[in-house]
Structure 1
Amino acid sequence: MKILFLGDVMGRSGRRAITERLGVLKSRLKADFAIVNGENASGGTGLTAGHAKVLLDAGADCVTLGDHAFDQKDMLAFIDTEPRVLRPLNFAREAPGRGHRVYQDARGRKVLVLQALGQVFMKRPFDDPFSAVDAVLRAHPPGGMVQAAVLDIHAEATSEKMAMGHYCDGRASLVVGTHTHVPTADAQLLPRGTAYQSDAGMCGDYDSVIGMDKAEPLRRFLTGMGRDRFTPAEGEATLSGVLVTTDDRTGLATRIEMVRDGGRLAQTHPEG
């Protein structure tokens, strides 16, 4: 099976790129299943119900969220009506929605998708992500209950993401980080067969400061004072993520490739 994972969609530029290019990208890469992190798709903070529908209609089989899961208030009700949208596993127990679910690709193969929030350097404490992930993976062994298992670890610290990758090695097809909006160059197959990358990057305009128009972040760094709100940059977006090939029999990965489509990053990664 080929699974495409794309990092945080950033504002209008990211949504536009998903709408215009996701279907073509899936076809070109022969992807059987596509997961998109929609954490910042609505104005850079959270995801509205309407924008979730845009991502799903464009070809996302599953949309994951993150620490801004409910910044857009209509998501509180929408997530209980749309099983293809996932919030983090270790969010508050009373939060609506679910943090994991089993889906099927067009051939009926089962794909477990789950998401967890990291704890290190995050603005508020969340429940232990390791025990939350462990419980789900124990109940859904790849190659048994499911043909593939993908974990989106939404976290700030690369060390925490790496630890999660090794913790899940041999029990998941892919562990991939989101949240920092900067793609890392460490795509690899771990010793027991789990594909890993510390951060998938973002689907947004890279002529920016992590997806935001440069003027206000630069002002704050230079003066220590803010004047305006952060607003997403609106130039051409790069679709950034990974493509993982898995063995249906074992559920483990046999190959991981970095994906760069359109925008500034594709100019230096033409293979994407």
Structure 2
Amino acid sequence: MRLLFLGDVVGRSGREAVAERLPGIVEQYGFDFVVINGENASHGRGLTEAHYQNLRDAGADVVTLGDHAFDQRDTLSFIEREPNLLRPINMPPGTPGRGAMFVESRKGHRVLVVNALGRVFMGPVDDPFRAVEAAIAACPLGEQADSIIVDFHTEATSEIQGMGHFLDGRASLVVGTHTHIPTSDHRILRGGTALMADAGMCGDFDSVIGVDTEEPINRFLTGIANGRFSPAEGEATLCGVAVETDTRSGLATKVLPVRIGGSLSQALPEF
């Protein structure tokens, strides 16, 4: 089975790149299942229903969120009727939506997708390790689930690496989102789980993590806000990770970085 995970979509540039490139990538490389983190897709903060549908129409089987999950107020209502949209599983009880979803791929594979939020340098949330473990225990890899993908939205690379080793042998892919910078540590752990500390972003890298440079530089220099952050709108790079799994076990056999378009060095998922 071939899985594609794309990192945080940032603003119009990221949305347009996904819409233009993703259908061809899925067809060319034969991906069976696509997950996209969309928590910055709408004006750099949150996800509107229209932009969620744009990502789904482009080929996302599941869209995940993060610490900006509810920055767009309408997400509070439409997330309840969209089973393929996930917010972090370890948000407080009573938070609208769900943090894990069992989805059938276009070829009939059973895929469990889990979204979690880190606690290191982030706001207070429940324990992500126990929350993710409970979701996976309910649909074990190689039994109920043909593949398991965990999007761990966290600031610290140490926390995502800890999650990867914690779930080694029990998930197909554990991947970090949130920092918007793709890491080069993609690998398969000893137990067969693919791990990448951050998938990067789908956005314009001629920026400060997807934001037009003027306001971030002003704040670095003065410590004073002079306006709102605005997403950069140049050509985006699609960043993420591609994984091929064993049909019987669901564990990873190949893991490859993905960087397509824009200003970063290119990395195509040549299986």
TM-score by length of 1: 0.97
Give the secondary structure class of the aligned counterpart of 2:164.
helix
- Aligned pair count reads 269
1:160-199 equivalence runs, <5 A: 160-199=159-198
Matches within 5 A, 1:203-242: 203-242=202-241
Residue number in structure 2 paired with 1:19: 19
Structure 1 residue 34 displacement after superposition: 0.4
1:119-175 deviation per Cα after TM superposition (whole angstroms, max 9, x unaligned): 0100x2000000001111111111111100000000001111100000000000000
Output one character per residue of 1:87-117: Cα deviation in whole Å (capped at 9) or x when no partner. 1100111111110011111221100000110
Shift of 1:75: 0.7
Q: Partners of 1:248 and 1:75 in 2: how far apart?
A: 36
Structure 2 counterpart of 1:269, which letter? Answer: Q
User: 1:223, CA displacement in angstroms?
Assistant: 2.2
- Partner Cα separation in structure 2 for residue 215 and residue 29 of structure 1: 38
Is the CA contact 2:211–2:231 (under 8 Å) kept in the aligned structure 1?
yes
The 2-side partners of 1:25 and 1:216 are apart by 34
Name the SS of the counterpart of 1:241 in structure 2.
Answer: strand
SS in 2 for 1:21: helix
Give the TM-score normalised by structure 2: 0.98
Give, in whole Å, the separation in 1 of the partners of 2:187 and 2:87: 26
Report the CA distance shift for 1:256/1:270 in structure 2 as closer, same or farther (over 3 A).
closer
The code of the aligned residue for 1:80 comes to E
Secondary structure in structure 2 of the residue aligned to 1:40: coil
Shift of 1:250: 0.4
**Which position in structure 1 is the counterpart of 2:80?**
80
Encode CA deviations 1:25-69: one digit per residue, 9 max, x unaligned.
Answer: 111221110000001000111001111011101111000001111
Structure 1: 5+ residue stretches without partners: none
Amino acid at match of 2:73: K
Q: Distance in 1 between matches of 2:218 and 2:108?
A: 51
1:226, distance to aligned residue in structure 2 (A): 2.1
The match for 1:4 is 4
Taking the aligned partners of 2:62 and 2:131, their CA distance within structure 1 comes to: 20
Deviation at 1:222?
1.8
Q: 1:260 Cα shift?
A: 0.7
Match of 2:115 in 1: 115
- AA matched with 2:10: M
RMSD: 0.9
Q: Secondary structure at the match of 2:209?
A: coil
Quote the Cα distance in structure 1 between the aligned partners of 2:107 and 2:211.
39
The code of the aligned residue for 2:216 comes to P
User: The residue matched to 2:130 in structure 1 has which SS?
Assistant: helix
- The aligned counterpart of 1:148 is 147
**3-state DSSP class of the match of 1:52?**
helix
SS across alignment from 1:93: coil
Aligned partners of 1:243 and 1:213: how far apart in 2? 29
Cα distance between partner residues in 2 of 1:138 and 1:61: 22
Deviation at 1:271, TM superposition (A): 3.7
Identity across matched positions, percent: 58
Unmatched segments (≥5 aa) in structure 2: none
Q: Post-superposition shift, 1:270?
A: 5.1
